Amino acid sequence: MVPTQGQLHLFGGDWTKEKLERVRQYLTAYTKIMRKKDYQFGYIDAFAGTGYLALKDAKAEAKRLFPELMETEARDFVEGSAHVALEVEPPFEKYIFIEKQGCRSSELQRLRDEFPAKANDIVIVQAEANTYLQDLCRNRVWKKHRAVLFLDPYGMQVEWETMKAIAKTRAIDLWLLFPLGVAVNRLLRRDGLIDEGWRHRLDLMFGDTGWFSRFYNVENEQTFFGPEQKAVKTADAKAIGRYFVERLQSVFPGVAKNPLALSNTKNCPLYLLCFATANPDAATLAVKIAQAILRGPRIR
């Protein structure tokens, strides 16, 4: 089905297809395993978008070549994560799509028409992801439930409190985009003079203040006015990624050690696609499957 203009959400590039394909592979393996088990299992998408994406790079190129066509219509689109999850067979028993923006969550309603057999299993929530997830994780009984959760924010929206709540369920497998190049590495100025507001956002995302001493060397310098402390950035993108994986390992019983760098056309890593599981009983298998998917050949 061709999406309407309202359904198209302009975002991403080739790396978007890469990310969605890896998640699709995991969801397919997951439902095959879970249908043989005695749990109710669902898919939760906490930054769900509209169900469709118009790719930025493709749109820019098409606009250059066919400006008259682009006035009215976006030419290239891919199915977004909510759509991808609905296509997976065998199906999940429940789908929860969370989206903060009202117009986007209304667009998600159209997915029910596209998947009538699954319409009754779809729950669409207009909410802030952290607030909704913390409540869902802390106040539901997870013993007989299992889920895959996809966190696909634009930037540093996911708070560490949410990660801790997810880990405590002992029931959720998590795929997460860590905003390595689009946000974190950019904010980490060479001289360490990071705006107070941004420092606070980094604390909220990493869940502590330890990142500063991991990413910076603080040196004492003799100046005309006396001794002064000077910070120098020592961490590169790889070191920042390693630190985030360590943070995941501090709360989740299983974490893929090989997150996948999603890079732009200039080969700059924008995001890291990470996997962690909260379920200690199935951690070894879940991590093995996720690591194999993350190691798989590039998808273009």
Binding site for ligand SAM (CB under 6 A): 9, 11, 47-49, 53, 80-81, 98-101, 104, 128-129, 152-154, 157
Closest residue to ligand SAM: CB criterion: 80
Looking at the Cβ atoms of 49 and 254, the one nearer to ligand SAM is 49
- In one-letter notation, the amino acid at residue 210 is G
Looking at the Cβ atoms of 49 and 253, the one nearer to ligand SAM is 49
Q: For residues 181 and 187, what is the distance between their CA atoms, to the nearest angstrom?
A: 9
- In one-letter notation, the amino acid at residue 198 is W
Beta strand ranges found along 213-300 (DSSP E): 216-223, 226-233, 254-255, 260-263, 269-277
Looking at the Cβ atoms of 9 and 59, the one nearer to ligand SAM is 9
Looking at the Cβ atoms of 49 and 259, the one nearer to ligand SAM is 49
Looking at the Cβ atoms of 104 and 146, the one nearer to ligand SAM is 104
* Structure tokens that stand for 69 in this block: 């066509």
Residue whose C-alpha is closest to residue 126's, from 103, 147, 110, 156:
103
- CA–CA distances in Å: residue 243 to residues 116, 150, 218, 287: 44, 21, 18, 18
Looking at the Cβ atoms of 135 and 236, the one nearer to ligand SAM is 135
Check if the beta carbon of residue 157 is closer than 8 Å to that of residue 129: yes
- Smallest distance from ligand SAM to CB 238, Å: 24
- Smallest distance from ligand SAM to CB 217, Å: 34
- CA–CA distances in Å: residue 129 to residues 39, 51, 125, 126, 252: 24, 17, 10, 9, 20
